[in-house]
Amino acid sequence: MADLILALDLLDPMYAREVAESCAASLDAIKLGYPLILSAGLGVVKDLADLGLPLIADFKVADIPNTNGLIANQVFSAGFDAIICHGFTGRDAVEACVDAAHAYGGECFVVAEMSHPGALSFFSRGVAEQIATLAVECRADGIIAPATRPERIRALRSVVRSRKIYSPGIGTQGGDLRSVLPLVEGVIVGRTIYGAADPAKEAAVMAAIVNDERSS
């Protein structure tokens, strides 16, 4: 049973709000990252809160434990429900994000392997499995794994077992929605939805596929 998560990587806050609002009925969560937050400010989180959808902060936090904790506390006090951090920083740094998330009743997801081609320079050769293992040991709520490489999702599933896998890379990056849905708890989709001529229609089409998979 996978969630449909919109990656709202738009720079114009008014248009971002319009797209989010028009797609909201088809979505299970919205992911915000540097593009929108740097252009609109952290206040955009409160602006989107009335849509009633969980908001995920994709800052891929990757600093020392103290700084990670400070960042995560800002994220959750701004109203986010979940945070994404990197795992290559190691146990203490990941734990700082997980601890802050759980203190706020929120969730923390650890990037195990990225979806773009260049990710293979460093995430291959067992590194992703090690990061996923660390995520489990640190009590993270789940990992991020690439929709562009379903076989890697399957490999990482055997590490994280019942923890969540959220997967970006559908559509524009080449990942196939129908192939990935049975493997994960959430698909993260940006340009394929917000870049469509009619984002609400595209979100509805994808939500119908998600619902089909849920009921199969």
Binding site for ligand NUP (CB under 6 A): 7, 9, 33, 58, 111, 114-115, 144, 146, 168-169, 171-173, 188-192
Catalytic residue among 3, 58, 81, 99: 58
Query: Is 216 labelled a binding residue?
Result: no
Q: Which long-range contacts (CB under 8 A, 24 or more apart) does 172-179 make?
A: 173/115, 173/116, 173/147, 173/148, 174/148, 175/115, 175/146, 175/147, 175/148, 175/150, 176/147, 176/150, 177/206, 177/209, 177/210, 178/209, 178/213, 179/150
Closest to ligand NUP by CB, 173 or 216: 173
Q: Does residue 46 have an active-site annotation? A: no
Query: Is 31 labelled a binding residue?
Result: yes
Query: Is 47 labelled a binding residue?
Result: no
Q: Nearest to ligand NUP by Cβ — which residue? A: 190
Query: Is 201 labelled a binding residue?
Result: no
Closest to ligand NUP by CB, 178 or 191: 191
Torsions phi, psi of 45, nearest 5? Answer: -60, -45
Q: Does residue 60 have an active-site annotation? A: yes
Nearest Cα residue to 59 out of 20, 111, 132, 12: 111
Catalytic residue among 28, 47, 63, 201: 63
d(CA 36, CA 11): 5
Binding-site residue ranges: 9, 31, 115, 190-191
Binding-site residue ranges for substrate: 9, 31, 115, 190-191
Which residues are catalytic, by number?
Answer: 58, 60, 63
